[in-house]
Amino acid sequence: MDMPVAEAEKDKSQFVKNSVLYKEFLAEREEILKHKWIESEKAGKDIGFEKALLDWIVKHRSNWRERRMREARTEKAAS
């Protein structure tokens, strides 16, 4: 028997929220928002999400990703 549409959508939504890719997206977004806040404070005005995003990608993303991968490997090895 088929699932009702609303229940199927809820299952899809839960699958996305539990996916590693979505969790990485949320973690990266949080870092960008922190960067936006810090840089806006320095500038004395809101620099906007796009400027913060581009600045964070250029200055911090590669190191952040390396650190996340290193931490994930450490956690995996410990379990």
Give dist(CA 27, CA 30) in Å, integer: 5
Residue in this structure with the two tokens 């911090």, named with its chain if needed: 60
Closest CA to 56 of 46, 44, 64: 64
The pTM of the whole model exceeds 0.95? no
Helix (H) or strand (E) holding 26, with range, is: helix 20-43
Kindly give the confidence (pLDDT) of every residue in the chain, 79 residues in length, as a single tens digit, with 9 standing for 90 and above. 455 667 767 776 776 678 889 999 999 999 999 999 999 999 999 999 999 999 999 999 999 999 999 998 888 888 7
Domain coverage including residue 35: 5-78
Number of domains in the chain: 1
Q: Strand, coil or helix: what is 3?
A: coil
